[in-house]
Structure 1
Amino acid sequence: MSGAREATARPRATAAALRRRAVPAVAAVLTVVAGLSVRSVLTGDIAKYAGDALYALLIFWLVLVVAPPTRGWVAAVVACGFSVAIELFQLTGVPATLGAHSTLARLVLGTTFNAPDLPWYAVGAAVGWALHRLMVPRGPGVRAGRPSAHRRA
């Protein structure tokens, strides 16, 4: 590739990489806002389980911010697995101890294990995957948001 072509290709690649991260980053912020809103507007089981689903959805978006080329289904599996792991970690009592000293730890790790939370993590991850499928361009030569190797922009 000539020097001039390389010079114009780099900014375009950088802009594309920023766009691939910007969409899930904005979605993550909106998910946090939705989570805080749900807890302040709703009460009881609806608020609790919506919060669980939104927690997994947030992890889904964060996976795509950190690793933009990740396929949606992989991000969903990671988000669900991470959420379940945190829930199981609560069985150790460590999150409850940390949560007693830190609001942030309490928000991120929770405090007590609750088995009915587990399916709601799968719901949140599935919602993320479905939203991601709606946002990713589809068409000839495009698979999971990535152009095929033979197609050049």
Structure 2
Amino acid sequence: MSLAVRWIRLLMVVSAAGFAGAAYAIRAAMDGPIEQYSGAALSAAIVYTIVICIWPPISPLSAGSATIAYCWFIEFAQLTPIPAALSQRSWFARQLLGARFDLIDVAWYPVGAIPLIAAHWFLRARTRSRTDSPRSSSTCRPEGSLYDP
């Protein structure tokens, strides 16, 4: 595993912990719709970081699609009695699965993923433009030659 992949994975773990911390801080400090909507958006952000941690070379659109599909799957699974039953038995299951379906959450998952998709796309494009620059190409010009800008 390359050093870059290790750094990306470490950054994603730290980001997921930061998003979770923000979600719990909002939950502790506020009540009402802000708590609910930010919780759904931050849940999607956590899932996005997990997707990148699992497969760092994934494209932003694929990571975003996987994130939103997973979040929607979990939300629609709440229409069955299984997540509620598991959530009654375990705090951890409640955090992962929720307890009841909320259609508003379905709309807020993309709100949490889209900024990360955009940032991922921007960083990937920026990294690629640096590697495609003439300075990084492997030519036979010696350093310090007249051809160096």
TM-score, length-normalised on structure 1? 0.80
Q: Residue 10 of structure 1 aligns with which residue?
A: none
Which residue identity is paired with 1:19? Answer: W
Which residue identity is paired with 1:42? Answer: M
Separation in 1 of the partners of 2:16 and 2:124? 16
Task: List, as ranges, runs of 4+ consecutive aligned residues in structure 1 with deviation greater than 2 Å.
Answer: 130-137
- Partner secondary structure for residue 113 of structure 1: coil
Which residue identity is paired with 1:107? Answer: Q
In terms of Rg, which structure is larger? 2
Separation in 2 of the partners of 1:31 and 1:151? 38
Aligned pairs (5 A) from 1:65-104? 65-104=53-92
TM-score, length-normalised on structure 2? 0.82
Separation in 2 of the partners of 1:151 and 1:19? 24
- Partner secondary structure for residue 58 of structure 2: coil
Q: Residue 23 of structure 2 aligns with which residue?
A: 35
Residue deviations 1:19-56 (CA, integer Å, cap 9, x gap): 12122222111111111111111110111010000001
Task: Give aligned-pair identity as a percent.
Answer: 30
The answer to whether the aligner puts 1:46 opposite 2:61 as a matched pair is: no
RMSD: 2.2
Q: Among residues 115, 120, 131, which one is paired with 2:108 in the alignment? A: 120
Q: Structure 1: where are the runs of 5+ without partners?
A: 1-12
1:151 to partner: Cα distance: 5.6
Separation in 1 of the partners of 2:17 and 2:29? 18
Separation in 2 of the partners of 1:130 and 1:39? 26
Which residue identity is paired with 2:119? Answer: L
Distance 1:74 1:41, change over 3 A: same
Residue deviations 1:65-96 (CA, integer Å, cap 9, x gap): 00000111211111111000000000011000
1:133 to partner: Cα distance: 3.3
Q: Residue 56 of structure 1 aligns with which residue?
A: 44
Q: Structure 2: where are the runs of 5+ without partners?
A: 139-149
Separation in 2 of the partners of 1:96 and 1:104? 12
Separation in 1 of the partners of 2:18 and 2:119? 13
Q: Residue 131 of structure 1 aligns with which residue?
A: 119
Q: How many residues align?
A: 135
1:131 to partner: Cα distance: 2.9
